[in-house]
């Protein structure tokens, strides 16, 4: 149904088209919507940084969104932050769930013990995607994000690599 691939320099226009939709960017970090130069920087440099794994989500051979992991450092080096988005036309079709499950499986094979995803309180669809992939709500951080002159709570979801040797279970050590 879906595949994950690296970004290429030819993805700039599609990235701008999908991610600069206000209904999509309302849930993303403040670097969205992208100016063209920022999109080109992201594709050619930003998504290739050592601490990240970022992929294009393709559905039926078409670029429909993006998913990525950002490694943490120091005493949190066993963690990675998960982030993803889809173009609005692709919402509600199971694409994000499939991509999240694939990236989650990849992350655990790379040795991460825990993945987490911060979600704006208004993004209930993303919360459902996480729950379908066995992520659990760990807490709600009040007024954690200031976006468009409004404060938002963040729902902090996480999944541990239960079932793998040396990993913490979903319910504890």
Residue-wise pLDDT for 54-104, tens only, equals: 999 999 999 999 999 998 989 998 999 999 999 999 999 999 999 999 999
CATH of the domain at 124: 3.40.630.30
When pLDDT is cut at 50, 70 and 90, the band that residue 170 belongs to is: very low
Q: Is residue 165 part of a domain?
A: no
Q: Is 65 exposed, middle or buried (0-12, 13-18, 19+ CB in 10 A)?
A: buried
pTM, full prediction: 0.88
Residue 94: HSE in the Cβ half-sphere, 13 Å Cα cutoff: 2
Q: How do residues 124-152 score in pLDDT, each as one tens digit?
A: 999 999 999 999 999 999 999 988 888 99
CA distances to 99, 122, 123, 129 from 154, in Å: 22, 9, 10, 16
pLDDT above 50 for 169? no
| pLDDT > 90: percent of the chain | 62
**Structural domain range at position 11:** 2-160
Tally of domains in the chain: 1
């Amino acid at each position: 149904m879906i595949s994950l691939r690296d970004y290429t320099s030819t993805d700039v226009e599609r990235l701008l088209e999908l991610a600069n939709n206000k209904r999509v960017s309302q849930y993303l970090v403040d670097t969205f919507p992208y100016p063209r130069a920022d999109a080109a920087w992201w594709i050619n440099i930003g998504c290739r940084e050592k601490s990240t794994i970022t992929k294009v989500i393709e559905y039926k051979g078409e670029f429909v969104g993006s998913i990525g992991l950002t490694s943490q450092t120091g005493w949190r080096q066993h963690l990675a932050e998960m982030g993803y988005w889809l173009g609005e036309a692709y919402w509600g079709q199971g694409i994000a769930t499939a991509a999240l499950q694939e990236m989650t499986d990849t992350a655990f094979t790379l040795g991460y013990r825990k993945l987490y995803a911060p979600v704006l309180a208004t993004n209930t669809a993303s919360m459902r995607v996480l729950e379908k992939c066995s992520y659990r709500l760990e807490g709600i951080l009040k007024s954690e994000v200031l976006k468009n002159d409004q404060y938002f709570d963040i729902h902090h979801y996480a999944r541990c690599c239960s079932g793998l040797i040396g990993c913490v279970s979903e319910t504890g050590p």
